[in-house]
Amino acid sequence: MVEYDVIIIGAGSVGVPIALAMATDGLRTLVLDSLPSVAQADNKHAIGGIRATHSNIGKALLCKRSIEIFSKWEEEYGDDIWWNQGGYTFLAFSDEDKKMLKDTVKLQKSFGLNIDFLETEKIKELIPGINEEGLVGGTFSPEDGNASPLLSLHSFYRRSKQLGTKYHFNEEVIDINLKKRSIVGIKTTKSKYKTNIVINAAGAQAKDIGNLIGLDLPVEPESHEAGITEPVQKFFSPMVVDISPCLDEKFGNSKNYYFYQNNEGKIIFCLTPNPTIPGIDRRETSTFLPQITKRMVQLIPRLKNIKIRRTWRGLYPMTHDGNPIVGNVEEVSGYINAVGMCGQGFMLGPGLGELIARIVTERTTPADKLILNSLTPKPGFFNEEVLK
C-alpha cells in the first residue's frame, strides 16, 4: 500500500493550487479525482474574475495573495495565463446601494485594499457608452483582474507535477479510514492508500466526502449560467458588476450580473437567478440569454450588435453565509476542509493553497489565524458576505 504525506480530494480550482503549495514544501502529495483529467468539473465553467474586494477579511486577504501569485506567474514560470489587471467596478443605481457600497469601501480599506467609490462621471470614463440613467456611482478596485481558469489551472498542474505531485484520475474516493478518530488512509474504487492527512477540496461533491467521516458539511451546490461573445475591439477593462435586482415576469427574476472583456476581446458574462437554482443540473436553460442580454444591452446599448458564441452552466458550492469553510475540524484529526467556495474557488485557490500548506506543516501565522477564524462556521452565527 503506497503512503503519502497528504491526499487531496479534487483536482480543480482549489485542489490543484493546494497540491502545488504542498509540493513546494516538499510533501509527498497525491491528488484524487473521479473525472478523466484536471479541471473537468467546475473550473472549466468559471469565468475568470479575481478580486480581493470582499467584506470578509479572510477572503480579502486570501484573494489579495492570489492576485500577487496570478500577476507574477508568467514572469516566474513563463506561462501566459491571460492575467489582466483591469479592476472591478460595482455599480449603484439607488441611494441605498450607494450607501451600502460606500460603507463596504470603508471596511475594505481597513483590510488594506485599494478601492474607492467613484461618482457617475468617473464611472462613465471607465465604461465608455454606459447608460447613465439612474446611475449614482460605483466602486473601482484597480488591482483586481481576471485570468483564464483553464490556462491557469493547467499551468499550476504542470508545475505541481514537476515538483513531484501525483495525480490519479477516474478514481473515486469511497471511504476514509479512521483509527481512534484520526485519519490513517483512504479507499478508492481502484486502490487503498496510507496517509495521516486528507484535504477535502471536492467542490460540489464536498458534502459527500464529509459524510464519509460523519461530518455534515453545510455546502449545497446551486447552478449558474454563463456565456461568451465573438471577439471585438477592446473598449473597456474592468469586470462590471450590476448589483441591482431585476423583475422579469416572462423569463424570470434575477439578482446581480457581471461581465468583462478578455484578452481576445470576447465578453464573458454571468447572472445570478432569483430564486437561485439548487442542485447539480449543468444543462443550459432557455431563459438565461433573454434574462441577461436584456440587462446588458440596457446598460451598454452598443453591445446589441455583438454575436454570442456559446453558453454553459456550472455549479457554485454555496454556504449559508457566502463564505468558505476552511481548516481542521475537532471531530477528526488529520482531516482538513477547503470547501464551500461559493463560486469563488478560482480567485481563492492560490492564496488558499499556501494557507493549507502552512496548516499541514504547522507554520500558521497570526494573520492565518485571523483568516481561519473568519472562515470557521460558528453555531447560530453568520458573518454574511455583503457582495457574495
In percent, how much of the chain has pLDDT > 70? Answer: 97
Residue 383 lies in a domain: no
State whether 62 and 181 are in the same domain. yes
Q: What total of structural domains would you count in the chain?
A: 2
State whether 161 and 271 are in the same domain. no
- 376 has pLDDT over 90: no
Compute the distance between CA of residue 27 and CA of residue 323 in angstroms, rounded to an integer: 28
Quick one: average pLDDT of 251-271?
97
Q: Which residue has the higher pLDDT, 376 or 175?
A: 175
Q: H helices of the chain, where?
A: 15-24, 57-77, 95-110, 120-126, 149-162, 206-211, 288-299, 345-360, 366-374
User: To the nearest whole number, what is the mean pLDDT of the chain?
Assistant: 96
Domain boundary among 318, 335, 363: 318
Residue 380 lies in a domain: no
Q: Which DSSP string do the residues of 185-200 spell out, in sequence order?
A: EEEESS-EEE-S-EEE
Q: The domain that contains 312 carries what CATH number?
A: 3.30.9.10
- 37 has pLDDT over 80: yes
- 178 has pLDDT over 50: yes
Compute the distance between CA of residue 20 and CA of residue 32 in angstroms, rounded to an integer: 14
Q: How confident is the model at residue 382 (pLDDT cuts 50, 70, 90)?
A: very low
State whether 158 and 277 are in the same domain. no
State whether 298 and 205 are in the same domain. no
- 378 has pLDDT over 80: no
Quick one: average pLDDT of 279-284?
94
Q: Tell me which residue range forms the domain holding 226.
A: 88-142+220-318
Instruction: Extract the C-alpha cell encoding 105.
Output: 469601501
Domain boundary among 318, 348, 366: 318
> What does the pLDDT read at residue 276?
93
State whether 245 and 303 are in the same domain. yes
State whether 30 and 69 are in the same domain. yes
CB atoms under 10 Å from CB of 115, counted, come to 25
Residue 266 lies in a domain: yes
- 18 has pLDDT over 80: yes
At 244, give phi and psi (nearest 5°): -75, 145
Residue 33 lies in a domain: yes
Using the structure block, give the residue that is written with the C-alpha cell 495525480: 167
- 220 has pLDDT over 70: yes
Domain boundary among 297, 318, 339: 318
- 103 has pLDDT over 90: yes
Q: Are 332 and 179 in contact (CB under 8 A)?
A: no
Using the structure block, give the residue that is written with the C-alpha cell 455583503: 386
Quick one: average pLDDT of 104-132?
97
Q: Are 336 and 197 in contact (CB under 8 A)?
A: yes
State whether 304 and 171 are in the same domain. no
> What would the pLDDT profile of 198-213 be if each residue is shown by its tens digit?
999 999 999 999 999 9
> What does the pLDDT read at residue 385?
74
> What does the pLDDT read at residue 380?
42
State whether 328 and 312 are in the same domain. no
> Up-side HSE of residue 157: CA atoms within 13 Å toward CB?
22
Quick one: average pLDDT of 282-290?
94
CB atoms under 10 Å from CB of 305, counted, come to 8
In percent, how much of the chain has pLDDT > 90? Answer: 95
Residue 382 lies in a domain: no
> What would the pLDDT profile of 131-169 be if each residue is shown by its tens digit?
999 999 999 999 999 999 999 999 999 999 999 999 999
State whether 236 and 116 are in the same domain. yes
Residue 163 lies in a domain: yes
Compute the distance between CA of residue 12 and CA of residue 170 in angstroms, rounded to an integer: 14
Q: What is the CA radius of gyration of the chain?
A: 21
Residue 137 lies in a domain: yes
Q: The domain that contains 23 carries what CATH number?
A: 3.50.50.60
> What does the pLDDT read at residue 381?
40
Q: How confident is the model at residue 383 (pLDDT cuts 50, 70, 90)?
A: low
Q: How are beta strands 166-168 and 29-32 bridged, if at all?
A: parallel
> What does the pLDDT read at residue 321?
87
> What would the pLDDT profile of 227-242 be if each residue is shown by its tens digit?
999 999 999 999 999 9
Q: Which DSSP string do the residues of 132-185 spell out, in sequence order?
A: -TT---EEEETT-EE--HHHHHHHHHHHHHHTT-EEE-S--EEEEEEETTEEEE
- pTM score: 0.96
State whether 190 and 208 are in the same domain. yes
State whether 108 and 154 are in the same domain. no
> What would the pLDDT profile of 361-373 be if each residue is shown by its tens digit?
999 999 999 999 9
State whether 311 and 212 are in the same domain. no
Residue 379 lies in a domain: no
